[in-house]
Structure 1
């Protein structure tokens, strides 16, 4: 609501725009319509419990930091104290200038996981890669994937004592099982096992007989792997290796907590990374908003920090909830990294809420929302991370999640960081504040046994303008949070000038403009905006 408290017409003289001017010869009259505007705004404040927790800039990752010069392990992360859990896939890379040429054959670098051999393969970037996971967790996840190349599909499973050997001397006997990317070779998968679920006891003995491969990659938990080096003078990967890559080597970490040691036995000294396989400590899991206040119609941007949601170390993971507490659901990769349907609308859209305990989630994993006053104050929308359309009730839904269930998607902000956002690269969130959201109503969201409240509040602001030659535009904002007011001056020819006015701790702001030859006669409109809050308009006329 906007109320105009004062309407004052001022006339005064102004010495025109030349250093040689004489005021008696160059008077111009300015008619200034001064509007002191009292603006009542509805602001949405997202807070946890009783206090707002802003997004911490230090949590925004820029690159992975390794404690070793040549050994990279994807879950080595000081923010999460090197924890990993559930069906997370771990990428191990050796970047060693002594063995990185593509046209030269080298011996495979010796890397172990808890003393067991991890077989490495060279790719076209010159580095050596391998992937591993916990066997029981990989099986539990794979048993939810009923379509090839969708969901938590780990590819085709093989027993550790398989005779399968894609290259002379290459076997996976130090593991407790392994998976291959396109199936075949006698492997099993939940998509081709005749309804029988995979278990540690029924892993088959894979052989070098190819059998039936999937046309596209069956495995869906490593989506952006590097390409193997097939140079015959170098690593010389063959067609079998190409068909099975990437291989996920499985180990037994079931006695949690399990210390996991990755060791690159480099000549001159081992390089070691120590990990912990266990349920993620609750204090490492949080949700944050990037600002305390949201006006009606604004995007509600939030970040969810949960390393366990980082399944694929090579690509951004996406998770979609139906946040209704009555019909709470959870899906992995309902949408791809560009927000287009992936599992959504297919049989691969498997609800994982009932599998959270088996997948080592503790209190995390489930996201719910409810309306204490029964008043809807938010609206779902499509953006670059999810695709929605209206159902018969006018609610936004996906192909598989009804509008009443409340679809809500987060996508990892970068590959392998464990920080997820509900907004796309352009800042468009998948939920926004309704334009007609009533004041003093709220919505409450819960994740990891923590509640976050979206509350409608009111704020005041006013914008005033003083006299030229150097014109000062000033005003105040209620409940300031720093930053600046963006002032837009629209000239009579519809060209625009934008200036920023810093906001003080008390909420005041001020800036000056010089009315020179670039300001022709006519009506000027000045509008202000602070943190997406419209401060209204004032105007003046140059004659």
Structure 2
């Protein structure tokens, strides 16, 4: 008996299929169906429903409207130019509350204008009696409509053009083939995109296309909301990549959404997903912070930024400024997050060039932190360094296997996360970058400019301008000349190297001696002077060791030089 029971259980387990939403609903897709967020949506989110059924996809012959319901009530579908059928719906109360926040038509969370469920079919060509009303893009030519602050009545009139809808910005175009009614249902093109309104908690969307296809959603607080960063610790000067995962920020299912957070402020589409001003700069920019609860947000929808002694805000192509204005008030310390792809619910503050709005201050100290708080969860941004390793991808050994051989190329690999300031970009260690710590191989005792005590630029009249110098990397001992603040045309640059003549003589090859052979190398890089621009247009470099006297005509007479005192190193 026990053996039979165990065999039966084994058989049952073997035939249970894995759930596959696409396989279960091959012709029905719903934008809010997302396992990562528990198939939940909330607030004023607009949901897109698409039926893509080959039996109903012809655009040049009459096809019947797909039988789609939401909790048993009809959801009117419209055919688009590609043959698929589309509908948009939202929660009635939340949609009106969101629209009530609009400061300028066509900006912010503008749903257009609202019409009542009893609006006659002749107004828009289709009736919507199973809804609790609906929103159309514009009030042009209509009467009886309302915005989010009023009570929608029966809409009548002749719909005109215009589109104030800012929450379905990229709807598919209607099927306008002359052989069939517009959208197959006769919908007036001025009503598209149209958003149908319902009241619900849980939602069942059903397509009866021969076989029953269903999608189950919950209208409730969204789980798995998070803010994440790309590293645990950051070196000075690094980019900080921050990602917010929150499906509720995905208000428009047809386009990438953009949210801007500032000091005590939240804005929807201050900028579009390419960084151009949308509501920014005028009355369309509305601070949603006081309205978040009325449009369905809980603890999410707001970001608190504590820069501390390490974080700084930067501009990028998503956000051209660090402040934004509505024409009257200016909001500071803003950061803009853009959805990574339409309907993803994942938002980055890093643009397409891998430049983040958040960064670590270049001279920040280790062990310090700034903080970001989203959904009441605080995330620390900690500065610190990691241990670098240096390796050669070959080993020096005695014998045949793995031995380094003359003329053989062997890669040299440096692993140092602290030098990787942008984790999304392939970077180079450049000797002209003061922040770069350059791997340095020293042969013998080379002379460097690390001991220099000053640098001066000279003009035509001989006046000297002092420049700041630094040696930020003790390994390569590179001297950097800071030319910021300098302007004009300069004829010369003098650097007090701190190197005596005896030291120079000791490292140079004296070719006059029979027992001396070799080459003297002088390595220099003047890219730190590049900011002078045209001031260096006629620059040239001449290196001389010795002394010459010049006459007015420019003729030179060579003089003998010596350094008799090795202590004072007088020339």
Range into which the TM-score falls when normalised by the shorter chain = 0.5 to 0.7
How many Å separate the matches in 2 of 1:137 and 1:84? Answer: 12
Aligned equivalent of 1:338, options 274, 283, 299:
274
Cα shift at 1:473:
2.9
Cα shift at 1:300:
1.1
Distance change (3 Å), C-alpha of 1:452 and 1:489: closer
2:217 alignment counterpart? 275
2:16 alignment counterpart? none
Matching of residues 139-150 of structure 1 within 5 Å? 139-150=96-107
Cα shift at 1:78:
1.2
Aligned equivalent of 1:158, options 101, 109, 115:
115
Matching of residues 124-523 of structure 1 within 5 Å? 124-166=81-123, 170-184=126-140, 185-186=142-143, 188-190=145-147, 198-199=149-150, 202-210=151-159, 213=160, 216-237=162-183, 241-253=188-200, 258-266=201-209, 268-281=210-223, 284-322=224-262, 324=263, 328-371=264-307, 375=309, 377-388=310-321, 396-400=322-326, 405-461=332-388, 463=390, 469=406, 470=408, 471=410, 473=412, 477=416
How many Å separate the matches in 2 of 1:451 and 1:142? Answer: 31
How many Å separate the matches in 2 of 1:486 and 1:179? Answer: 48
SS in 2 for 1:223: coil
Cα shift at 1:451:
0.6
Coordinate RMSD, CA, aligned? 3.5
Distance change (3 Å), C-alpha of 1:263 and 1:537: farther
TM-score normalized with structure 2 length = 0.65
Which stretch of structure 1 is more off in the superposition, 460-469 or 425-434? 460-469
For these two proteins, the number of residue pairs brought into alignment is 405
Native 8 Å contact 2:116 2:134 kept in 1: yes
Cα shift at 1:182:
1.8
Cα shift at 1:403:
8.2
Native 8 Å contact 2:205 2:214 kept in 1: yes
SS in 2 for 1:459: coil
Cα shift at 1:244:
1.1
Native 8 Å contact 1:364 1:447 kept in 2: yes
How many Å separate the matches in 2 of 1:278 and 1:484? Answer: 35
Structure 2, gaps ≥5 residues long = 1-20, 397-403, 431-438, 440-472, 479-518, 522-571
Cα shift at 1:378:
2.5
Tell me the alpha carbon deviations over residues 121-161 of structure 1, each in whole angstroms, 9 at most, x when there is no partner: 11111100000000000000000012111100001100111
1:21 alignment counterpart? none
TM-score normalized with structure 1 length = 0.68
How many Å separate the matches in 2 of 1:235 and 1:383? Answer: 47
Cα shift at 1:292:
3.0
1:25 alignment counterpart? none
Cα shift at 1:297:
2.5
How many Å separate the matches in 1 of 2:363 and 2:267? Answer: 31
SS in 1 for 2:55: helix
Native 8 Å contact 1:101 1:234 kept in 2: no
Distance change (3 Å), C-alpha of 1:535 and 1:339: farther
Tell me the alpha carbon deviations over residues 59-102 of structure 1, each in whole angstroms, 9 at most, x when there is no partner: xxxxx957410011111111112100000000001100011111
Aligned structure 1 segments of 4 or more residues deviating by more than 4 angstroms: 64-67, 237-240, 400-404, 462-468, 474-481, 483-490, 534-539
How many Å separate the matches in 2 of 1:152 and 1:537? Answer: 56
SS in 2 for 1:165: helix
Native 8 Å contact 1:353 1:366 kept in 2: yes
2:501 alignment counterpart? none
How many Å separate the matches in 2 of 1:351 and 1:487? Answer: 39
Native 8 Å contact 1:387 1:398 kept in 2: no
Aligned equivalent of 2:46, options 73, 76, 89:
89
Native 8 Å contact 1:132 1:250 kept in 2: yes
Native 8 Å contact 1:163 1:208 kept in 2: no
Cα shift at 1:435:
1.5
Cα shift at 1:485:
13
How many Å separate the matches in 1 of 2:107 and 2:315? Answer: 22
Native 8 Å contact 1:156 1:187 kept in 2: no
Distance change (3 Å), C-alpha of 1:219 and 1:378: same
Native 8 Å contact 2:306 2:371 kept in 1: yes
Structure 1, gaps ≥5 residues long = 1-63, 191-196, 389-395, 491-508, 510-533
Cα shift at 1:440:
2.6
Native 8 Å contact 1:66 1:72 kept in 2: no
Native 8 Å contact 2:283 2:326 kept in 1: no
Distance change (3 Å), C-alpha of 1:220 and 1:404: closer
Distance change (3 Å), C-alpha of 1:484 and 1:72: closer
